[in-house]
Structure 1
């Protein structure tokens, strides 16, 4: 029981860490992702950009951590969905990491641009546009598209298993559907990334993660639900 409580607290802490580092990282990227003079601002604010990359790497570790620590609990209800959740969370982490690489590559381009005596502005901007586009697409596919899939899977298991109060996974499944829809709308150009509509559609999934995190830290998983799942699993295992 103590190990279950510790695991729940760790999952909650990692959810909060992931959210905080994601917001900080995105804001620290502003000099190199925003404005027409990003090739100059990027190299001038290199340490800030690198710190932003480190924040996103912490986000990657946190995301993988939540999936792997929750896996033993989720598998008690449905091992297949639990395994899918781990795999898709890893895929989300990989996509975010590609975005980090694109930003660091853009920083290298910015340094080369400022170091060049008479740079070919057009070619530098062409390369910069490609790298920014890679980051934008990874930001859409990772923290939006894949996040919707991941949240739906673990929320479904939480709802069916009653490991946490059902209002939390209901919010989670609602938020998962909305952020997935937001990703599709952004992919087809209906709404813009980092728009008001995008923020509104993403708000429920963010609220779900924070509410779930706080619940797990202070309350943990439902002990009676865990016992029921373990009994069911043992009974099924002995019958087979």
Structure 2
């Protein structure tokens, strides 16, 4: 049971870390992702951009950490869904990493532009547009589309297993559906990627992660529910082997 408490703390810390670093990273990227003068502002704020990339790398590690730490617990209820969750969380991390690489490549392009003495921007603009588009699409697919998929999987197991109070997975399932829908609406251009509607539809999933993190740090997973799941899993396995 001590290991379960440690797992609760690790997952809680990683969820908080992922949320904080995601917001900080997006804020730090502002000079190179927004505004018409991003080609010069990127180089001027190079250290800030690199720090933003480091924040997102921490986000990547945190996302993988939550999935792998929760896997032994989730598998006691449904091993298939638990494995899907790990795989899709890794996929989300890969997509986010591609976005990080695109921003750092855009920073290199900005530095080359400034070092060349501000030549005709038309020769640099197409590459800049493509790199910004790669970041925008990875941001839409990773922390939105795939986040919705991942959240609904672990929330479903939490709801059915009783590992955490049911109001938390209910919030998670609601949030996952909304953020998933928001990503689709953004893909089809119903509203911009960074918009009031997008932010409102993302709030429940963010609230779920924060609520889950605080609960796990304060209370941890329900150990009696976990013991019951383990007992039922062993009974099924012993029955199958007979």
**How many residues were matched structurally?**
240
Are positions 1:84 and 2:92 aligned together?
A: no
Quote the residue 2:169 is aligned against. 169
CA RMSD, aligned part only? 0.6
Q: SS at the partner of 1:117?
A: coil
Aligned counterpart, 2:97: 97
Counterpart position of 2:178: 178
Structure 1: unaligned runs, 5 residues or longer: none
Q: d(CA) in 2 for partners of 1:238 and 1:157?
A: 23
State how far apart, in whole Å, the 1-side matches of 2:15 and 2:189 are: 30
Question: Which residue in 1 is equivalent to 2:41?
Answer: 41
Q: How does 1:18-167 map to 2 (within 5 A)?
A: 18-117=18-117, 119-167=119-167
Unpaired stretches in structure 2, ≥5 consecutive residues = none
Partner of 1:209: 209
Q: CA deviation at 1:224?
A: 1.0
Q: Distance in 2 between matches of 1:171 and 1:118?
A: 50
**Shift of the alpha carbon at 1:166?**
0.3
Within 1, Cα distance between the matches of 2:16 and 2:170? 20
State the alpha-carbon separation in 1 of the partners of residues 117 and 136 from structure 2. Answer: 30
Q: What CA distance in whole angstroms lies between the structure 2 residues aligned with 1:220 and 1:198?
A: 31
Task: Give distance in 1, aligned partners of 2:118 and 2:150.
Answer: 48
Change (3 A) 1:148 1:118: closer
> Partners in 1 of 2:223 and 2:182 — Cα distance?
36
Q: Which is worse superposed, 83-92 or 111-120?
A: 111-120
CA distance in 2, matches of 1:227, 1:167: 21
Which stretches of structure 1, 4 residues or more, deviate above 4 A after TM superposition? none
Following TM superposition, by how much is the alpha carbon of 1:119 offset from its aligned partner in structure 2, in angstroms?
2.2
Please tell me whether residue 236 in structure 1 is matched to residue 236 in structure 2. Answer: yes
**CA distance, structure 2, for counterparts of residue 118 and residue 16 of structure 1:** 42
Q: In structure 2, do the counterparts of structure 1 residues 203 and 118 end up closer, same or farther at CA, with 3 Å as the change threshold?
A: closer
Give the deviation of 1:157 after TM superposition.
Answer: 0.2
CA-to-partner distance for each residue in 1:29-59, whole Å, 9 max, x for gaps? 0010010100100000000000000000000
Q: 1:146, CA displacement in angstroms?
A: 0.1
**Distance in structure 1 (CA, Å) of the matches to 2:191 and 2:5:** 41
The residue aligned with 2:17 is: 17
Please give the secondary structure, in 2, of the residue aligned with 1:192: coil
1:123, CA displacement in angstroms? 2.0
Structure 1 residue matching 2:124: 3-state secondary structure: helix
TM-score (norm 2): 0.98
Query: Residues of 2 paired with 1:94 and 1:217: CA distance?
Result: 28
What is the TM-score when the length of structure 1 is the normalising length? Answer: 0.99
Could you tell me how far apart the structure 1 residues matched to 2:150 and 2:198 are? Answer: 18
* CA displacement at 1:118 relative to structure 2: 5.6
